[in-house]
Amino acid sequence: MTQHPTATTMTSFFPALVEYIQNAIAQWDSIPSDRRSDLAKVAGYIRERLARSEPAKLIFICTHNSRRSHLSQVWAQVAADYYGLEGVETFSGGTEATAFNPRAVAALQRCGLKILADDPTVANPHYRLYTSDSSNPQICFSKVYSDPPNPQKGYCAVMTCSQADDACPMVMGCDLRMPIRYEDPKVADDTEFEALRYDERSAQICREMLYMMSVV
């Protein structure tokens, strides 16, 4: 089944975000066939859960729950909302907790999302992310993948980095464990290429999460 954006999301999302999403969709041809196959497996899991009128819960896991797992959580939820897939819930976690990296936060802001920190002075701020002025926010902060509010059972675990994939051969409570790995933009921290690398990774993840939700 091919999903299409709803009229509501097309008019309610921030215009800059809609433009960013449409540009990402136009680049689906750049997604390799092997990655399309992996993304389709997660889409199949979502489809099966929704067909049973059950929530489709996805946890994106990387080592520090700082960059890739948060970008994946955010874009997967944005993509599900864009296509009107009610019942999709996205989460993220790490094998340890640190903080949602401010460079990743800034990359998402450059895509058109509105992001507010409850208290930016604390070590692990809680961020609220909005797709429109009237949307319910995503709440993002760093946590271990098994910590609340993440589900404890009945979910799909998406491993976004090789380190977490290797460190968690068993993810307790998950129905499906799927590695979909991304290169860490951290390698460019404090260099002239920093913003470029974070934008590239955010764009790749956005593109692939949109594709995944489109084939649910």
How many helices (DSSP H) and strands (DSSP E) are in the chain? Answer: 7, 7
The CATH number assigned to the domain holding 31 equals 3.40.50.2300
Helices (H), 84-124: 102-110
Contact yes or no for 114/74 (Cβ under 8 A)? no
Q: Does some domain include residue 173?
A: yes
At 124-163, the pLDDT tens digits run 999 999 999 999 999 999 999 999 999 999 999 999 987 7
Q: What is the pLDDT of residue 171?
A: 87
Examine the pLDDT at 83 and tell me if it is beyond 70: yes
Q: Could you tell me which residues come within 8 angstroms of residue 205 by beta carbon, excluding any fewer than 6 positions away?
A: 68, 71, 72, 75, 182
Is residue 166 over pLDDT 80?
no
Q: Which domain holds residue 123?
A: 7-214
How many structural domains are present in the chain? 1
pLDDT for 211 equals 98
**Packing angle, helices 194-214 and 68-82, rounded to 10:** 40
Residue 4 in this model has a pLDDT that exceeds 90? no
Within a domain: residue 159? yes
Q: What is the pLDDT of residue 165?
A: 63
112 SS3 class: coil
Phi, psi of 212 (to 5 degrees): -60, -50
Residue 157 belongs to some domain of the structure: yes
Q: Are 209 and 78 in contact (CB under 8 A)?
A: yes
Is pLDDT at 27 greater than 80 in this prediction?
Answer: yes
Q: How confident is the model at residue 11 (pLDDT cuts 50, 70, 90)?
A: confident
Determine the pLDDT at residue 169. 60
pLDDT at 164: 62
How much is the pLDDT for 55? Answer: 98
Q: What is the mean pLDDT of residues 30-38?
A: 98
Is residue 1 situated within a structural domain?
no
Q: What are phi and psi of 73, to 5 degrees?
A: -55, -50
Residue 210 within any structural domain of the chain: yes
Average pLDDT taken over every residue of the chain:
94
CA angle 69, 48, 130 (to 5 degrees): 40
pLDDT 10s digits, 175-207: 999 999 999 999 999 999 999 999 999 999 999
Q: From CA 56, how far away is CA 49, in angstroms rounded?
A: 5
Is 2 contained in some domain? no
User: pLDDT band at residue 48, thresholds of 50, 70 and 90?
Assistant: very high
User: Does 182 reside within a domain?
Assistant: yes
Q: Write the burial class of residue 114 (CB in 10 Å: 0-12 exposed, 13-18 middle, 19+ buried).
A: middle
